[in-house]
């Protein structure tokens, strides 16, 4: 029993958990992405859209949306043995952005979801992570009725810093979402390593 206990403790100490934010504009698919990839039942803090919110929430292009995230979504995915990602989906409306500073504490990086029909909606998230030097990837959620743009076109339209990855995805598809997260972990690893080398150089 002693050896079994020590093996279990050893397994716990070698596991790595990384915090990832999922951000973007209103109705872009953040809750959908977290729900699609999470291996646990995701925690959601959604509320029905109200008449009061109609004056501040721009629902053009997402008119069938009936709920909105008011605090955060939370999910978890194991990328490989010993590496788990904890996902925090941020609320999309600017009146909830005061939560972003709290959620971004200790985050490895972020996924900024984009909808090419409303590309300007992800500008605030891009600006937020660029100004705080938090590595991020832009994941273009490919909606059925949206015109398809290439990664280079999206990067240019968003005026991204050189090297910031842009990937096309389907937020409803687990494998597609997992690929986005893997790209983020790889990019964030290079980003943080480069900053560390700069600080000691």
The stretch 171-176 carries a mean pLDDT of 97
DSSP 140-165: EE--TTSPP--HHHHHHHHTPPTT--
For residue 184, count other CB atoms closer than 10 A to its CB. 27
CA distances, 11 to each of 77, 81, 151 (Å): 17, 10, 39
Question: In the Cβ-directed half-sphere of 165, how many Cα atoms lie within 13 Å?
Answer: 22
**What is the pLDDT at residue 7?**
45
Q: pLDDT for 97-123, tens place per residue?
A: 678 888 899 999 999 999 999 999 999
Look at residue 1 and tell me whether its pLDDT is greater than 80. Answer: no
The stretch 188-200 carries a mean pLDDT of 91
Nearest residue to 45 via CA among 21, 68, 66, 64: 68
Q: pLDDT for 49-104, tens place per residue?
A: 445 444 444 545 545 545 554 457 899 999 889 999 999 998 876 666 678 888 89
Question: Are 32 and 171 a contacting pair, CB within 8 Å?
Answer: yes
């Amino acid at each position: 029993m002693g050896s079994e206990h020590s093996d279990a403790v050893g397994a716990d100490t070698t596991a790595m958990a990384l915090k990832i934010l999922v951000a973007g504009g209103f109705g872009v698919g953040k809750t959908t992405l977290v729900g699609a990839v999470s291996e646990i039942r995701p925690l959601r803090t959604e509320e029905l859209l109200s008449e009061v919110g109609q004056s501040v929430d721009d629902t053009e292009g997402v008119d069938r949306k009936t709920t909105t995230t008011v605090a955060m979504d939370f999910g978890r995915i194991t990328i490989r043995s010993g590496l788990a990602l904890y996902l925090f989906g941020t609320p999309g409306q600017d009146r909830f952005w005061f939560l972003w500073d709290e959620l971004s504490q200790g985050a490895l990086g972020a996924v900024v979801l984009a909808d090419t029909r409303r590309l300007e909606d992800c500008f605030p998230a891009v600006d937020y992570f660029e100004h705080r030097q938090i590595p991020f990837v832009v994941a273009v959620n490919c909606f059925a009725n949206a015109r398809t743009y290439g990664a280079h076109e999206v990067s240019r339209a968003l005026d991204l810093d050189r090297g910031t990855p842009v990937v096309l995805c389907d937020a409803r598809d687990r494998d597609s979402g997992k690929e986005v997260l893997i790209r983020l972990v790889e990019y964030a690893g290079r980003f943080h390593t480069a900053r560390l080398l700069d600080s000691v150089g």
